[in-house]
Structure 1
């Protein structure tokens, strides 16, 4: 990515906050006239670190122009608006065939929780996140606590005015290898306190006692990490919510992980299908794959319609609750089906192609590998079905023999 110059600088426009349609049209014109759009569209990387660095440059330019600041409050570096503005932003990136900067995936999950439960922390650090100068990792899962977060063991000893001392281990931390800060769910209650004894806090990744070990995925990319905490001191003003509120913060956060993250992901899936359709039109494919394309497209559109309803509820300040599990099931299934279809239609390219002759091949392979875990990350499909059965359908409890 070249120097952070912007072809068109958007002055803050209060009219965009009240009129989403005007924001959409203006942002669409900006992207259409962008003199570095093709550079952005065609950029390739062979490592997660390179991709994050490239996307940070994209965020910096969008922040300077103002476009990615709509949908976020002024106190957090934004220009006002709500979740509908952010959904529109992702729609227009997809329409223009431009990839979503990777930092947005975690921002959509962690940012709203900070705004709701730790506004002072959000005011101090979210502007830099929007500007692409820092991003955070989500430290929830542990080797023996994945979908069942209430079983986590990483402990924070409360030292009163001296803050907390954290000890333990986390795993599968998204964007952990390059994160500046970590949002960590810890146990502050007794060992058997389950969800009642959890607390959320922000920890700087360079704090003494924090060790981050990147995890190489099947694709070879180091997108996740395991994180160790050895007598890590955390100031009290880094609490996200109060002591013991960690479960409430996590459940609030999950609404956005499954609503806003899901909606943004589905816009990228529609963009992938548009590209695949163009390739099929030129190169052809089997009747079976054409039928699969139609069915997959319908599945993505249906999932997006459901996610759009969730986005509107979030924008209206409503609590989604167990209904977010429906969103999670739909978008994770759709993501896997899209990537499987791309692989099967372009199988010779995916298996036998070589870089640099085939631009984007490494990224396409990485996306396919990453989608293998789509129905597990963020809560497995089995757990989501159980939540839907228990809390929405009110079905009888399963009898385990």
Structure 2
């Protein structure tokens, strides 16, 4: 593992840091941005894009600058270091955009990609359903092609992050139920303002409502908005899922709150605890702190590979799995030490109230692949364990539904 920037990376880091520090007031902070509206967030992303700091790895013809993954990682690290809020269109940049680039038509790329990078349009990812979460290929939202060539969509999606803010989404549908479930899928771009699209926010225990359920009632989507071939939606979706794993897998930045911030917080309040609780709190902090550093250095391993021009291996899945657990442990410890004051106390980096952070972090065990899915990936593809048995292998989706209905 190489902890030092190359001369080229050091020069790039200096350029990024200099720009961010000059525009720090304009870009805002997590503390001041907690209640900012989305137009402020759009303007921030546009400022960063115009400076060349959004979509760095994207091709120039797609609106990027043809840079390296390491350049983008350095930008992410510097944004985190200064406490600048994350980009408002992270899902669009990390998941939807790469899918459009890989499978969209030239017309779609021209219409969507540059506007996505500037946050002129916000995007969401419409995958999960009430009966198809971890088993995405079991989705039931139907798209039926009409005589005019357009598609009529009916169904429901759930846990869609940012759908209430989005202008567009990538939508995975079932277009043929008479083939095995992984084959009869097709992906589309959908305008979220299309008649028949209904978005209902889901209130979380943290008090926020970033997730949504989305209903499609006879929503008409032109065939020109299809991504990839009819029936090839699973292959298209894999592009999205791999991009999602990489964007959430860690690159030396922390999920949730960093261990140093928690350590300072705990240290500030340890004296108020009874002696026996102080001992336990110190032990818990030590264990969680070491685990957090392990996750961070796993991210550095990924960055070292990117810096050498290599493709990262299982570090993304392993890093995301470990980081979510550690982030929850750190936030839980901080809240328990602070006690009732956690309802009003703000983290030192301004990322939110301690209690809100603790309540929101369990969602990270679902976002970007559930913990159970990631364990399966690591078990099968890293450890070489046998794949889980599949009762629906070799049968059509319609047959699998019929078998499910007859279960006692």
Q: Superposition RMSD on alpha carbons, in Å?
A: 3.2
Task: Tell me what 2:65 maps to.
Answer: 79
More helix by share: 1
Q: 1:301 Cα shift?
A: 3.3
Q: 1:79 to 1:283 in 2, by over 3 A?
A: same
Q: 1:378 Cα shift?
A: 3.2
Correspondence list, 1:85-100, <5 A: 85-100=71-86
Task: Tell me what 2:34 maps to.
Answer: 45
Deviation readout 1:278-319 (Å, 9 max, x if unpaired):
444555563443443343333233334434555676795858
Task: Tell me what 1:238 maps to.
Answer: 225
Tell me if the contact between 1:198 and 1:247 (Cα under 8 Å) persists in the aligned partners: yes
Q: 1:272 to 1:354 in 2, by over 3 A?
A: closer
Q: Distance in 2 between matches of 1:187 and 1:261?
A: 27
Task: Tell me what 1:295 maps to.
Answer: 287
Tell me if the contact between 2:187 and 2:233 (Cα under 8 Å) persists in the aligned partners: yes
Tell me if 1:28 matches 2:21: no
Task: Tell me what 1:111 maps to.
Answer: 97
Q: Distance in 2 between matches of 1:354 and 1:72?
A: 40
Aligned residue pairs, count:
375
Task: Tell me what 1:344 maps to.
Answer: 336
Task: Tell me what 1:376 maps to.
Answer: 366
Flag structure 1 segments of 5+ consecutive residues without an equivalent: 1-17
Task: Tell me what 2:322 maps to.
Answer: 330
Task: Tell me what 1:4 maps to.
Answer: none
Tell me if the contact between 1:72 and 1:78 (Cα under 8 Å) persists in the aligned partners: yes
Task: Tell me what 2:275 maps to.
Answer: none
Out of 365, 384, 395, which is 1:394 matched to? 384
Flag structure 2 segments of 5+ consecutive residues without an equivalent: 1-6, 272-277, 391-408
Q: 1:259 Cα shift?
A: 1.5
Q: Distance in 2 between matches of 1:361 and 1:324?
A: 24
Farther-moved stretch of structure 1 (84-93 vs 100-109): 100-109
Q: 1:238 to 1:354 in 2, by over 3 A?
A: same
Task: Tell me what 1:64 maps to.
Answer: 50
Task: Tell me what 1:9 maps to.
Answer: none
Out of 141, 161, 171, which is 1:184 matched to? 171
Partner secondary structure for residue 32 of structure 1: helix
Q: Distance in 1 between matches of 2:71 and 2:373?
A: 31
Tell me if the contact between 1:343 and 1:368 (Cα under 8 Å) persists in the aligned partners: yes
Tell me if the contact between 1:152 and 1:187 (Cα under 8 Å) persists in the aligned partners: yes
TM-score for both structures, normalised by structure 2: 0.80
Tell me if 1:155 matches 2:142: yes
Tell me if the contact between 1:147 and 1:378 (Cα under 8 Å) persists in the aligned partners: no
Q: Distance in 1 between matches of 2:152 and 2:115?
A: 26
Q: Distance in 1 between matches of 2:144 and 2:377?
A: 32
Q: 1:242 Cα shift?
A: 1.7
Q: Distance in 1 between matches of 2:283 and 2:369?
A: 30
Q: Distance in 2 between matches of 1:363 and 1:136?
A: 27
Q: 1:361 to 1:196 in 2, by over 3 A?
A: closer
